[in-house]
Structure formats: structure tokens, C-alpha cells
């Protein structure tokens, strides 16, 4: 393996008022290697990347690039040094063409005018190098997020990158798209680029990474070769204690026999929305966790959006306790006793500038209407109750929600629905983008709620979580429900097998 050091960071320290974000952290990048930076939320990954890319100045420590000590004063300077970053959310202009996006700000010119022909051919060549064959004159927004990300990478490497930082690049990609991205990463690696990769998905990390650095609470835990660090040890390094899986899973399997005979209280029959869901039927039972498994884009989110009335179905009907109901708005769904934690917490979940208290009581107040105001004392009581019950880390209930970490924001959204005491709670990717211990807490909570008799629909991209929690799993593929697994049939292998086209 190549072992030429391209970049090294030594004894990096960075503190914010009241917090030591990084303390003597070191990090090295080697030519032609993918180096994963791992750690829970708040471990200092983002801060380290921001120091490296010049977003934050560091307090002390040395950064060396190709043997020369460098200081990137701002992101532009970092880019000029050859450190390029592609972020989780694509930072491009969707309403410009692909080629324009790649060359914006440094358009090749002829006679003082922009040389369009040149731009388009150059962009085309760049993307071909990455094995992407698309029409570069089309608007960026016509392409999938994955392609947009490739465009962002093409832009980054065309600005003479020696070091490429990929910050959670796969969080909104489906499996095929991830494979596409990985083939690009492998190609760049072969060309000798040093790549820094940050992700929450362990499988993906192991698939692509050569080297792993683990951070915890702003300190350096260790640098390992990926093949020498088993998953169990990695998790232990990240959380700082031995990781043991609960045997909750087996217990639930045993309980399933009892659930089998219970009649479903809610049915969605042959619901359909053109281009999103084709004729899906789903049943929910009291005290049961129903998993929706399937790749991103398989229609699992779309199904629950129909059930919660966020989108309207073209066909199909819903019955609750034997009675036909209409679900044309979230309000109707809530009044029928449903709750819904949406997939995209930032866009559909939190109300950023409002306090934790207001965010928690919002849906409950919604059911009461404008004029039946929940008294302030009751609001505080409710908020405090859930802050305590869910272990939300906050100064108090009057803290603004946008100041919280992702995991704590997710818990607040959960609390919002728990406060309405729903009969059916829909959780769409409740553990996305939050750290491991918060994930565990949320899954424990889900299981706990179900024991108390709540019915839950659980969606997760991480099959391990689906397998662990669910009593029944509906497998989705190409906007259809292709199978339903129960009891012992539920395993990662079986779900993948079904998705891949096998029968159960």
C-alpha cells in the first residue's frame, strides 16, 4: 500500500467559548488512500474538517501539506492549496446547467466572452473521466442527487484537488447510487488522490476505506488500518466502552406468537399515487412494530406520507376500526390518532426558531385549535416531562431547538408526537444522522412504546435496526409491496434476498 503522507495535522486544538472542541488531535492522509474519520456526533469530526478547510481558525497545532506547513485562512484559500470539500447537502445551483455549475466563477473565456463550447466540452471530459455520461447542457436539477454529487466532485477535483473531503456524501443516496459514487472514489484513489470520508454508515465505510481515525469527545482515540479493526472494536472505540448487542431481538420473536391473532385496527387498501406508490395494502395491529424495508426510492416514505395525509392518494381507501376514513391532510390523520416523524427532520420536522417547549406542544395544540390554549404551566410541565423521559440534552425547555444536536432535535420531534398520545406512530428514518448512543436510545424507546400498546410503523435504511425492532416487515421494491416477513423470517439476509428478486 502506498504510504506517502500527503497531509498531516499535528496537535490540533480548537476551543469555542466554554467547550474544548478539539484537544491535541492528529490526523494523516496518505496518497491513494481513503481515510475514514469516525466518531459519534459531537466527537469533533466536523470541527476538524472545518479547521482543515479554513472555516475555523485553529488555536494551536500544525498542518503540513506535501511537506510544507500551511494555514488555510478561509475555504477559498484551502481550495487554492488543493483541499476540496464536497458536503452532504449539495452546494450547487440547481437552476444552472451541469457545465455551468462545474465552471462557475472561473469560466474559460475567449475575447472577453464566455466560451460556451469550451465549457461544455471540458465539463463533458471531466465527467467522462468519472465514468458519468450525461448531457452537461441540461439543468442540474434534472438529475438525481447522486449525479449532482458527482458534479460537485467533478467541480472539486477540477480545481486541482490533492485532498478531497467527502462529508456524509451517501446520506441521501440509494444503493445503486452509492455504488456509482464508490466506483468514482476508487478511480480517484487509483489516480493517487487522498480522500477523507465521513459517514454514519458502517457498511459503506468498511467497503471503501483503507484507514480509520477515531475521535471521541474532541480527542484522538487512534488510527487503524481498516482491515485490522473489526466492527465491534470500532464501535467500542467510538463510544468508549464495550459494545454489546441486547438480546431484545430474540425476546420479541418469542412474543410474536401472541400478536398473530390480533385483528388489525387500521388498514390501508390498495392505495396508489401515480409515480410514487402503486397499489399498496398495509395493516397495523395494536402493540406491533411494522417495519417498511426497501431501498431509498422504493416507495416506503411515499406510502407513509399517504397514510399521514401529507400527500393525497389517487386510489385506495383507509379503514380505522372497520370504518372508512379519509386522510386528506395531516390534521385529519392527527385527529384520527396518528403521529408522524418525517424523514427530513430539518425540512419537515423542527420549527427552528421556536423553543423546545413550543416544538413539543405544537401538534397537541394543533388538535385543540387556536382558542383552547394549553396553559403555559401545563406546557412547561409537558416539555419537562419529555425532556426527562427521553433524556433530551438541553439547558431548559426554553432553549431554541435549532441550538440542539441532531439526536436531541429528533427526540423533541418524537416528544411532539408522544404528547398527542397517538394510537399509530409513524417513524420515517428516526435514527438518521444521529450518533450511536442516541440511536440505541431511540430504538429502545420504540420497543418500549410498543409494549405499552402503541402501534408503530418503522422505516430505516439500516436493515440491522429493522431486524432488531420489527415484528413484521413489509418489503418494498419499485413502489410496490413485494413481500411481508414475520417472526423468524425477519433477517437482514432474507430482506436483501427478497429485494434482490428472490421469494421468501
Partner 1 sequence: MKKKSTVDNLLRSKNFWALTALALLLLFNLIFTKGFFHIEIKDGHLFGSLIDILNRAAPMIIISIGMTLVIATKGIDISVGSTVAITGAVVAMLIGGNLKIVDGVQTYISQVPMSIAIIAALAVATLIGLWNGFLITRMGMQPIIATLILMVAGRGVAQLLTNGQIITIYYKPFFFIGNGFLFGLPFSLFIVAVIVGGTILLMRKTALGMFIESVGINPVAARVSGINSKNLMLMIYAFCGFCAGVAALLVTSNVKSADGIHAGELFELDAILAVAIGGTSLAGGKFFLLGSVIGALIIQTLKTTIYSIGVPPEINLVVEAFVVFIVMLIQSEEFRKIVFRVKAVRE
Q: How far is the CB of 340 from partner 1 (least distance, A)?
A: 6
Q: How far is the CB of 430 from partner 1 (least distance, A)?
A: 14
Q: Which of residues 374-393 bind partner 1 (CB under 8 A)?
A: 374
Q: How far apart are CA 474 and CA 467, in angstroms?
A: 12
Q: How far is the CB of 48 from partner 1 (least distance, A)?
A: 24
Q: Which is nearer to partner 1, 189 or 345 (CB)?
A: 345
Q: How far apart are CA 249 and CA 436, in angstroms?
A: 18
Q: Does 308 bind partner 1 (CB under 8 A)?
A: yes
Q: How far apart are CA 363 and CA 62, in angstroms?
A: 50
Q: Judge contact between 286 and 231, C-beta under 8 A.
A: no
Q: Judge contact between 491 and 311, C-beta under 8 A.
A: no
Q: How far apart are CA 344 and CA 275, in angstroms?
A: 20
On the CB side of 60, CA atoms within 13 Å amount to: 5
Among 5, 139, 362, 496, binds partner 1 (CB under 8 A): 362
Q: Does 337 bind partner 1 (CB under 8 A)?
A: no
Q: How far apart are CA 33 and CA 44, in angstroms?
A: 22
Q: Which is nearer to partner 1, 95 or 176 (CB)?
A: 95
Q: How far apart are CA 89 and CA 337, in angstroms?
A: 34
Q: How far apart are CA 420 and CA 337, in angstroms?
A: 8
Q: Interface with partner 1 by CB under 8 A: which range of 45-53, 189-197, 281-289, 357-365? A: 357-365
Q: How far apart are CA 178 and CA 197, in angstroms?
A: 13
Q: Interface with partner 1 by CB under 8 A: which range of 117-125, 173-181, 324-332, 465-473? A: 324-332
Q: Does 326 bind partner 1 (CB under 8 A)?
A: no
Contacts for 101 with CB less than 8 Å, ≥ 6 apart: 92, 93, 140, 151, 155
Q: How far is the CB of 415 from partner 1 (least distance, A)?
A: 12
Q: Interface with partner 1 by CB under 8 A: which range of 56-64, 140-148, 149-157, 365-373? A: 365-373
Q: How far apart are CA 130 and CA 150, in angstroms?
A: 8
Among 368, 396, 444, 451, binds partner 1 (CB under 8 A): 368
Among candidate residues 417, 429, 273, the one with its CA nearest the CA of residue 342? 429
Among 252, 273, 416, 472, binds partner 1 (CB under 8 A): 416
Q: Which is nearer to partner 1, 352 or 453 (CB)?
A: 352
Q: Which is nearer to partner 1, 21 or 48 (CB)?
A: 21
Q: Interface with partner 1 by CB under 8 A: which range of 43-51, 71-79, 153-161, 329-337? A: 329-337
Q: Interface with partner 1 by CB under 8 A: which range of 8-16, 228-236, 328-336, 467-475? A: 328-336
Q: Does 220 bind partner 1 (CB under 8 A)?
A: no
Q: How far apart are CA 472 and CA 290, in angstroms?
A: 5
Q: What angle do CA 296, 496, 170 make, to 5 degrees?
A: 35
Among 90, 334, 469, 473, binds partner 1 (CB under 8 A): 334
State residue 471 phi and psi, 5-degree precision. -90, -30
246: number of Cβ within 10 Å: 12
Q: Which is nearer to partner 1, 427 or 483 (CB)?
A: 427
Q: Which is nearer to partner 1, 221 or 425 (CB)?
A: 425
Q: Which is nearer to partner 1, 321 or 367 (CB)?
A: 367
Q: Judge contact between 161 and 83, C-beta under 8 A.
A: yes
Binding mask 2-41 for partner 1 (x = CB under 8 A): ---------------xx-----------------------
Q: Which is nearer to partner 1, 161 or 434 (CB)?
A: 434
Q: How far is the CB of 349 from partner 1 (least distance, A)?
A: 6
Q: Does 113 bind partner 1 (CB under 8 A)?
A: no
Q: Does 371 bind partner 1 (CB under 8 A)?
A: yes
Among candidate residues 24, 25, 23, 27, the one with its CA nearest the CA of residue 7? 27
Among candidate residues 454, 404, 110, 401, the one with its CA nearest the CA of residue 290? 454
Residue ranges in contact with partner 1 by CB under 8 A: 17-18, 308, 310, 329-331, 333-335, 340, 342, 347-354, 358, 362-363, 365-374, 395, 416
Amino acid at each position: 500500500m502506498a504510504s506517502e503522507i500527503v497531509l498531516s495535522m499535528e496537535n490540533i486544538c480548537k476551543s469555542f467559548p466554554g467547550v474544548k472542541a478539539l484537544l491535541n488531535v492528529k490526523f494523516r492522509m496518505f496518497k491513494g488512500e481513503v481515510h475514514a474519520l469516525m466518531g459519534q456526533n459531537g466527537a469533533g469530526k466536523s470541527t476538524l474538517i472545518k479547521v482543515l478547510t479554513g472555516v475555523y481558525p485553529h488555536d494551536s497545532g500544525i498542518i503540513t501539506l506535501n511537506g510544507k506547513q500551511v494555514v488555510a485562512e478561509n475555504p477559498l484559500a484551502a481550495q487554492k492549496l488543493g483541499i476540496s470539500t464536497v458536503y452532504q447537502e449539495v452546494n450547487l445551483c440547481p437552476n444552472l446547467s451541469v457545465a455551468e455549475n462545474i465552471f462557475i466563477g472561473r469560466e474559460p473565456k475567449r475575447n472577453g466572452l464566455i466560451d460556451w463550447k469550451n465549457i461544455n466540452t471540458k465539463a463533458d471530459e471531466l465527467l467522462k473521466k468519472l465514468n458519468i455520461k450525461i448531457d452537461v447542457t441540461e439543468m442540474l436539477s434534472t438529475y438525481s442527487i447522486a449525479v449532482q454529487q458527482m458534479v460537485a466532485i467533478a467541480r472539486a477535483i477540477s480545481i486541482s484537488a490533492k485532498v478531497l473531503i467527502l462529508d456524509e456524501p451517501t446520506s441521501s443516496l440509494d444503493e445503486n447510487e452509492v455504488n456509482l459514487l464508490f466506483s468514482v472514489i476508487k478511480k480517484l484513489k487509483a489516480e493517487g488522490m487522498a480522500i477523507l470520508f465521513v459517514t454514519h454508515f458502517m457498511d459503506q465505510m468498511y467497503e471503501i476505506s483503507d484507514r480509520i481515525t477515531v475521535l471521541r469527545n474532541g480527542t484522538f482515540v487512534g488510527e487503524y488500518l481498516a482491515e485490522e479493526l473489526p466492527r465491534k472494536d470500532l464501535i467500542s472505540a467510538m463510544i468508549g466502552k464495550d459494545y454489546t448487542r441486547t438480546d431484545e431481538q430474540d425476546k420479541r420473536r418469542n412474543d410474536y406468537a401472541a400478536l398473530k391473532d390480533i385483528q388489525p385496527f387500521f388498514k390501508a387498501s390498495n392505495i396508489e399515487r401515480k409515480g410514487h406508490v402503486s397499489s399498496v395494502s398495509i395493516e397495523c395491529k395494536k402493540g406491533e412494530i411494522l417495519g417498511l424495508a426497501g431501498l431509498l426510492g422504493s416507495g416506503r416514505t411515499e406510502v407513509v406520507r399517504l397514510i399521514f395525509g401529507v400527500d393525497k392518494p389517487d386510489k385506495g381507501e383507509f379503514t380505522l376500526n372497520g370504518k372508512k376514513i379519509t386522510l386528506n391532510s395531516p390534521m385529519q390523520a392527527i385527529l384520527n390518532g396518528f403521529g408522524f416523524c418525517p424523514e427530513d427532520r430539518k425540512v419537515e420536522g423542527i420549527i427552528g426558531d421556536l423553543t423546545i417547549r413550543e416544538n413539543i406542544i405544537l401538534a397537541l395544540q394543533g388538535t385543540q385549535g387556536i382558542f383552547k390554549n394549553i396553559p403555559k404551566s401545563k406546557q412547561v410541565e409537558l416539555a419537562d416531562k419529555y425532556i426527562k423521559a427521553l433524556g433530551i440534552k438541553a439547558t431548559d425547555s426554553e432553549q431554541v431547538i435549532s441550538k440542539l444536536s441532531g439526536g436531541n432535535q429528533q427526540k423533541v420531534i418524537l416528544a411532539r408526537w408522544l404528547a398527542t398520545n397517538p394510537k399509530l406512530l409513524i417513524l420515517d428514518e428516526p435514527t438518521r444522522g444521529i450518533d450511536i448512543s442516541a440511536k440505541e436510545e431511540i430504538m429502545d424507546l420504540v420497543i418500549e412504546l410498543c409494549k405499552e400498546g402503541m402501534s408503530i410503523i418503522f422505516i430505516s435504511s439500516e436493515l440491522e435496526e429493522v431486524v432488531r425492532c420489527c415484528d413484521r416487515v413489509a418489503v418494498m421494491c419499485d413502489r410496490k409491496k413485494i413481500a411481508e416477513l414475520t417472526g423468524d423470517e425477519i433477517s437482514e439476509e432474507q430482506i436483501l434476498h427478497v429485494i434482490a428478486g428472490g421469494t421468501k
